[in-house]
Chains A and B, each alone.
Chain A
Amino acid sequence: MSIRISAPDTASKNEVIELKALIQHPMETGYRRNNRGEIIERDIITTFECTYDGDTVFQARFHPGIAANPFLTFYTRATKSGTLEFRWTDQNGQSWAETHSLTVK
């Protein structure tokens, strides 16, 4: 799974920072059929969570209506230097994560 994260490396204290996260995933709805008429099994990411130094700052629940390769943009306030963790978990509990360290001056 290819993941792309956009986050600043440094920020000033109390600055509002923009975070962007993109993951490669088919988000197969379970409603489609293949060319032999058989149902293509559902395969979706169900949750996304971003933690900042251990605290959850953003959370999302995904449903079959979300397009493939979901792309999220959200904001948080830079309070202290720490690690941002972006984690996606699919319907079977498999998860993919990427981290980014942020320095607050």
Chain B
Amino acid sequence: MKWLAPVITVFTLAAACAPAPTADETREKLPASDLTSGYKFLQADTQALQDDDFANPGFLWVDRGRALFAAAPQQSKACAACHGEDGAELKGAAAHYPSVDETTGKLTNIEGRINLCRTRHQGLEPLDYETDDLLSLTAFVSHLSRGEPVKVDVSGPAEVWYRRGEDYFFTRRGQYNLACNQCHNDNWGRQLRGDTISQGHGTAFPGYRFEWQSLGSLQRRLRDCDAGVRAEPLAYGSDDYLAVELYLAKRAEGLPIEVPGVRR
């Protein structure tokens, strides 16, 4: 073990002389040329189900969302009254979310935007996460951007949220002590038991998962990932998950929105 001593000395010296590496230098990002949708890692049957606009079960929620969008709640106006029939004004909008709400200065995802619309403009109570109504409206609004490449603004007030999401992505957590990047940046495309590890993009969500037998939000998916590494999942709508949504959107920039996606 004698030879180790000089090596350790050299390292100690290097550490003492060189400035500490910044977070950006140690965090290896996914190269843009490798960007691959989770769709590519699915079996052909599952891909076919997502591509079939009739059989894709996610459309049950899109249909319901379209009906909710058009219907005026009692003593209020319908979403369609402002956003156009069948959401004509919202085409492409979901590809730019999450974004910072100008009034509150807080990062807002599509669920949050729908609830802000409800409280500000419709005089309605906000809807809870994972309720059929909120999932349906989110699915309908996101589906209007299907095929649109993701492009989000991470400058100005959004920057602090983006950094926060990145911190979450690169932080080890849970009993397995794993960070998101260890699977989704370093080992995507490889096998984890019977599954192929995807790159962890959120472009299919809200999406239909066989495991859920239902449509679910991106945050439900994030909770599953946290539970998977045996970390305590965060509450729906928490600031950290919102920040992660923004980080993931920036990371997936250029990939098209697939809502309603179908996943395992």
Contacts and interface: CB of A to CB of B under 8 A. Distances in A.
Given A2-B64, A4-B54, A68 B213 contact: yes
B54 A22 contact: yes
Nearest to B64: A2
B60 A22 contact: yes
Contact of A20 (B54, B59, B64, B213): B54
A59 interface: no
Given A26-B213, A26-B214, A71 B55 contact: yes
Classify chain B: how many residues form its interface, as a range. Answer: 10 to 19
A91 interface: no
A69 interface: yes
A69 B61 CA distance: 11
A6 interface: yes
B57 interface: yes
Interface residues of A, number: 13
A27 B213 CA distance: 9
A2 B215 CA distance: 13
A24 B60 contact: yes
B214 A68 contact: yes
Contacts of A69: 57, 60, 213-214
B220 to A, nearest CB: 14
Residue among A20, A26, A67, A68 facing the most chain B CB atoms (10 A cut-off): A68
Given A68-B213, A68-B214, A69-B213, A6 B64 contact: no
Contacts of B59: 4
A26 B64 CA distance: 16
A36 B213 CA distance: 20
A22 B213 CA distance: 14
B213 A71 contact: no
B63 interface: yes
B34 to A, nearest CB: 34
A37 B65 CA distance: 33
Interface of B: 54-55, 57, 59-61, 63-64, 213-214
Interface of A: 2, 4, 6, 20, 22-24, 26-27, 67-69, 71
Given A20-B54, A71-B55, 4 more contacts: A22-B54, A26-B213, A26-B214, A69-B57
